Structure 1
Amino acid sequence: MTLDDRVTIKDIAKTTQLSVATVSRILHKKGQHSSQTVKRVTETANKMGYVRNTSAADLVNQKSRIVAVIVSNTKSNFSEHIIDAIESTADEDDLNVFILHAGTRNEQSQLKAIRTVIERAVMGIILVSLELDDEVLSILDSTSIPSICLSTSVKDGVIPFVTSDNYQMGYSATQLMIDKGHTKIGIAGVPSNGAISQRIAGYLQCMADHHLKVSQTWIQYGTCTYADGDSAWKLFAKNREITCVICASDLTAISMLNAITESGLKVPDDISLVSFDGTELVDMVRPRITSISQSFYEMGLAGIKYLTDGKPIQREYLPFKTVERESTRRLRN
């Protein structure tokens, strides 16, 4: 039987019409459940041929010198800083690191990656910028291998995470531009769901706190990619009301800068730009881009130290800072 053919907890949950979390806890002997429910789950599991993947890692992970890093396959550059910190620290501690890529919201891709690392007897798993569903979280919770998420939050604190406060970043970026006299502010490239969508919530709350109306056309969703900037600007340009755009990532902001320039307008004379992330990319273009800069290297350090030093973490939000550059300007009254 291959990994893809195995009966999963989700399969059993569907058959028994119970939640994935309930089935997971029964099969891993966690929590209190009625004897009838336990019998129903265990009999269904046996009948369907479910085999718990305890893996060699559950027995020998204390001796393993391998750290697994599973990274979102979204085309971005900030994860490089997280991985740099992990690899540098691992090298100092004579550990090996192997990296796999998985879709940020692709359940099957994530399951395949996680099962692969579990079977490799790793000492720990670091997940970078991944939105995890209930089944993936159940598998991580049920194994004895330590795991931690970086650059995303995890609901219900199932596994620890270290990230930036997306809501506060969205609020701060909006406040910065309101303080500069902007009242018509767009936001581009941010996903409509998941932890990162809280940037939009922060943006909306800040606008509301200043009694500023927001048109639905001012919000253009995306996946933080380079392509999002170009596509969003094409829509903004059709009925150009906004004087500023907050971009989901440095790549999104650079794409929008290029699209604005190609349309015959100038940044910041005609449109101001702000980006999230604040990697080295914002200093490589002209004008340099104002950013809400995150502590990515520190995220990587926190993740690897959690595995190597047993640093107690459940949820941790690292500080971010606003760095003003030439892509924003104050509006004249």
Structure 2
Amino acid sequence: MITIKDIAKKVGVAPSTVSRVLANKADFYTAETVAKVKTAARELGYKKNQSAADLVKQHSNVIAAVVSSVKTNFAGEIIEEIQKKAAEYGYKLIVVYSHSADPVEQKSALMTVIERPVMGVLLLSMALSDDNLKLLEEAQTSFCFLSMGFDDDRPFISSDDLAIGYQATKYLIDKGHRRIGFAGLDRYPNTGRLRLAGYQKALAEIGVTPEDHWVQSGDYSYESGLRAMQQYGAKTDLTGVVAASDMVAIGVLNQAHLFKLSVPDDLSVIGIDGTEMCEIVQPQLTSISQDFYKMGVAGVERLRQLDLKQQVVKNKQEFVPTKLIERGSVTYAAE
């Protein structure tokens, strides 16, 4: 017997999309998508079965979190709070991991989620490809990005990454540093691009143009921090480094130690995220701390509002405040 999954496979859309189109709930789909689905149904000889129709009508109490599998530790704090807040409302949570930059893996993760009834989807630091964003939109499932902002109208709850890059760099500048590196960030997706722009803005205000080797790319991982510090070298001309994550900061710190450089006397290091890792290393890491707990709570609340069809969410795009926490990894630059 032909099922909606067979039609979905033929057309290249989610089964939930097929269900809604065949149930005449196609208001949010393009005419092209509707035509393709109905043509495929006719060609395959599809006969409607009631269980498939019920799938569309079924109300779900399941929230799905799709998590970028970058090698940093920020996601655990968001997931923990999503889990707690979801439990308060009687919701269940499923977590699916995906490599953020790979469209094929992204699609696989999304299909795992949207081919079953879910109340909504929270995407943690996921830079979806255009095709995968369209796939998610066509599924007509509520969704919100967490810990990643955008220039277009996609819904998100995030820190202001431009402000983060600026604040971290300005803090070092106020401590007398002028030769400041930025280590371990992916400079192309929005998060890295905006943090880099904030860094450049702060330096431009004091008339400093960063040299090419000051900015070392990476993937926010511990290994990225090690590699960045190795590129800076034991005789680095930098006096301060902004690390793209706490894990990057620890990599920079440990490699600096291997070079017999003292942090913060020879090199000041400031991390971004402010997770528990900042307090279990020596010296403890000064950080721009993000409120991941608030992001998790706000994400669940957003999906709940949409599910209950409460008033239209006024601020589809919400910035969560950050906080500078001074610890022991930054000091004044030597005269």
User: Aligning the two structures, in what range does the TM-score lie when normalised by the shorter sequence?
Assistant: 0.7 to 0.9
Instruction: Give 1:325's aligned residue.
Output: 327
Q: What is the distance in 1 between the residues matched to 2:259 and 2:196?
A: 26
* 1:300 and 2:329 matched: no
Give the CA deviation at 1:142.
1.9
Give the CA deviation at 1:250.
0.4
* 1:8 and 2:12 matched: yes
* 1:60 and 2:62 matched: no
Distance 1:39 1:193, change over 3 A: closer
Task: Indicate the RMSD between aligned Cα atoms, in angstroms.
Answer: 2.8
Question: Kindly, what percent of the aligned residue pairs are identical?
Answer: 33
Which amino acid is 1:205 matched to? K
Instruction: Give 1:114's aligned residue.
Output: 110
Distance 1:96 1:43, change over 3 A: closer
TM-score (norm 1): 0.84
Distance 1:57 1:87, change over 3 A: farther
Instruction: Give 2:236's aligned residue.
Output: 240
Which amino acid is 2:224 matched to? D
* 1:76 and 2:72 matched: yes
Other structure's SS at 1:287 match: coil
Q: What is the distance in 1 between the residues matched to 2:98 and 2:119?
A: 20
What runs of 5+ residues in structure 1 fail to find an aligned partner?
A: 10-26, 33-37
Match of 1:162 among 150, 154, 157: 157
Instruction: Say if 1:170 and 1:200, in contact at 8 Å, map to a contact too.
Output: yes
Which amino acid is 1:8 matched to? G
* 1:314 and 2:316 matched: yes
Instruction: Give 2:199's aligned residue.
Output: 203
Instruction: Say if 1:56 and 1:121, in contact at 8 Å, map to a contact too.
Output: no
* 1:149 and 2:161 matched: no
Give the CA deviation at 1:91.
1.1
Instruction: Say if 1:171 and 1:205, in contact at 8 Å, map to a contact too.
Output: yes
Match of 2:173 among 154, 170, 178: 178
Q: What is the distance in 2 between the residues matched to 1:229 and 1:284?
A: 17
Count of aligned pairs: 306
Instruction: Say if 1:58 and 1:143, in contact at 8 Å, map to a contact too.
Output: no
Other structure's SS at 2:72 match: coil
1:164-198 Cα distance to aligned partner (Å, 9 max, x none) = 11111001111000000000000001112111121
Other structure's SS at 1:309 match: helix
Instruction: Say if 2:7 and 2:40, in contact at 8 Å, map to a contact too.
Output: no
Which amino acid is 2:273 matched to? D
Q: What is the distance in 1 between the residues matched to 2:207 and 2:108?
A: 47
Instruction: Give 2:21's aligned residue.
Output: none
Q: What is the distance in 2 between the residues matched to 1:57 and 1:242?
A: 63
Instruction: Give 2:19's aligned residue.
Output: none
Question: Aligned ranges for residues 30-69 of structure 1 at < 5 Å?
Answer: 42=35, 46=39, 59-60=56-57, 63-69=59-65
Q: What is the distance in 1 between the residues matched to 2:8 and 2:218?
A: 30
Give the CA deviation at 1:143.
2.2
Other structure's SS at 1:157 match: coil
Bigger CA drift: 138-147 or 258-267? 138-147
TM-score (norm 2): 0.84
Distance 1:40 1:322, change over 3 A: closer
Q: What is the distance in 2 between the residues matched to 1:331 and 1:121?
A: 56
Other structure's SS at 2:236 match: coil
Q: What is the distance in 2 between the residues matched to 1:113 and 1:162?
A: 21
Q: What is the distance in 2 between the residues matched to 1:39 and 1:81?
A: 41
Question: Aligned ranges for residues 91-130 of structure 1 at < 5 Å?
Answer: 91-130=87-126
Question: Aligned ranges for residues 250-269 of structure 1 at < 5 Å?
Answer: 250-269=246-265
Instruction: Say if 1:60 and 1:121, in contact at 8 Å, map to a contact too.
Output: no
Give the CA deviation at 1:136.
1.3
Instruction: Say if 1:186 and 1:244, in contact at 8 Å, map to a contact too.
Output: yes
Q: What is the distance in 1 between the residues matched to 2:146 and 2:57?
A: 25
What runs of 5+ residues in structure 2 fail to find an aligned partner?
A: 14-24, 47-51
Bigger CA drift: 250-259 or 133-142? 133-142
